[in-house]
Amino acid sequence: MKINIYYGGRGILDDPTLYVLKKMEEVLEELRVTVERYNIYEHKNEIALLPQTFKDTDAIILATTVEWLGIGGFMQQFLDACWMYADKEKIAQTYMLPVVMSTTYGEREGVLTLENAWEILGGQLCSGLCGYVDDLLAFEMNKEYTLIIEKKAENLYRTISQKIKCLPTSNQAVKRSVLRTQSLDLTPQESEQLSKYVSDDTYVETQKKDIEELASLFRDRMVKSETEEGMEYINDLKSHFNGQQGMQASYYLMIKGKEKGLVIRIDGDELECYYGNDENVDVYGKLSEELMDEITSGRMTFQRAFMTGDMTAKGNFKTLRMLDSFFQFM
């Protein structure tokens, strides 16, 4: 029989959880149980790998200390890693005993948090151990407290050896019928490999850089596309512009598919073109992108498009007829 202990505290000398774990280890070793402890703070850079240590265990002890609020960050990260990377089939066969000692307030809530987490993961529960410690020396010298700890370890051994079953809980029912997660659908081998990648800082940094480069590439392409779209037809009009001294005209061409209309203002040899919403013009026209492409390629004229009804217009029709003389695409 083998039991793993996962300690989520900070490892300070006056941590009462360490004393409790020491007493439980002594009892379990007397019962010829192989006990291996993992101090999570010593593995903080490889927490994602710790769930892979469940493989050959019959039970685990999740132990932490409430110093000001809740179960602490190390234990929470470990539970997150269990959710993402652990073999759920193995967890379903593994008993868990929560141990939460407090130097402030909240040991019962801490035990409840660990129990809820393990039930949602699908594991088996053992009755937890929690307590408040004001004076560590007095706690260690109290024989009745020591007896309670030892009995808890014996009960854990008895539960595992007899494979005592637990009654169904609402947490398990909620997981089956309500809870929907985005956890990855991977085999145990794939989960183990992924956890190794996640715990590899070099690999993670490389992935982050690759993502940043891809994001920058797509961002540049989007900016370039928006810029090209903003200059569409404007360069064609400027390159084929034929200004006439003393002539003034203004046009607003609403091209289907464009959010804003194409404003054209002519003053002699000067031409101003831009996309905007200025409708204070001499001629207002409406046409499709396909028709505008035919005009700028020289296969169609503004006047012919208007006469055939492909282009609608209102305003000064004399100014409309001048469009083909201002812009000579043929």
Q: Are the C-beta atoms of residues 39 and 47 closer than 8 Å to each other?
A: no
265's CB contacts (< 8 A; 6+ apart) are 249, 250, 251, 271, 272, 273, 281
Closest CA to 29 of 135, 186, 149, 153: 153
172 plus 256 within the same structural domain? no
Residue 217 lies in a domain: no
What was the pLDDT predicted at 188? Answer: 64
150 plus 260 within the same structural domain? no
How many domains are contained in the chain?
Answer: 2
* Partners of 312 in the β-ladder: 286
3-state SS string over 225-258? HHHHHHCCCHHHHHHCECCCCCCEEEEEEEECCC
306's CB contacts (< 8 A; 6+ apart) are 285, 312, 313, 320
Residue 270: which CATH number? 3.30.1050.10
Residue 210 lies in a domain: no
What was the pLDDT predicted at 136? Answer: 94
**How far apart, in whole angstroms, are the C-alpha atoms of residue 100 and residue 64?**
5
pTM above 0.75, yes or no: no
Walk along the chain (330 residues) and give the pLDDT tens digit of each residue.
999 999 999 999 899 999 999 999 999 999 999 999 999 999 999 999 999 999 899 999 999 999 998 999 999 999 999 999 999 899 999 999 999 999 999 999 999 999 999 999 999 999 999 999 999 999 999 999 999 999 999 999 999 999 988 787 776 666 666 555 555 566 666 666 666 666 666 766 777 787 888 777 766 665 544 444 557 788 889 999 988 888 899 999 999 988 888 999 999 999 999 988 877 899 999 999 999 999 999 999 999 999 899 999 998 888 988 999 999 887
28 plus 107 within the same structural domain? yes
**How far apart, in whole angstroms, are the C-alpha atoms of residue 224 and residue 11?**
55
Q: Which of 137, 160, 179 is the last residue of a domain?
A: 179
- Sign of the dihedral through C-alpha 297, 299, 304, 310: negative
Q: Are the C-beta atoms of residues 31 and 97 closer than 8 Å to each other?
A: no
Structure tokens at 50: 């710790």
- Sign of the dihedral through C-alpha 242, 248, 253, 259: positive
148 plus 260 within the same structural domain? no
What was the pLDDT predicted at 196? Answer: 66
Residue 218 lies in a domain: no
What was the pLDDT predicted at 180? Answer: 52
104 plus 7 within the same structural domain? yes
Residue 162 lies in a domain: yes
118 plus 26 within the same structural domain? yes
**How far apart, in whole angstroms, are the C-alpha atoms of residue 62 and residue 53?**
13
Q: Are the C-beta atoms of residues 313 and 286 closer than 8 Å to each other?
A: yes
Q: E strand or H helix at 221, and its extent?
A: helix 201-230
Residue 119 lies in a domain: yes
52: Cα separation from own chain's centroid? 23
What was the pLDDT predicted at 39? Answer: 96
What was the pLDDT predicted at 330? Answer: 73
Q: Which of 134, 158, 179 is the last residue of a domain?
A: 179
Q: Which of 179, 196, 223 is the last residue of a domain?
A: 179
Give the residue numbers spanning the domain of 281. Answer: 234-326
168 plus 297 within the same structural domain? no
- N- to C-terminal Cα distance for the chain? 91
Residue 197 lies in a domain: no
- Sign of the dihedral through C-alpha 213, 215, 216, 222: positive
6 plus 152 within the same structural domain? yes
Residue 278 lies in a domain: yes
What was the pLDDT predicted at 167? Answer: 80
Residue 113: which CATH number? 3.40.50.360
Residue 192 lies in a domain: no
What was the pLDDT predicted at 226? Answer: 43
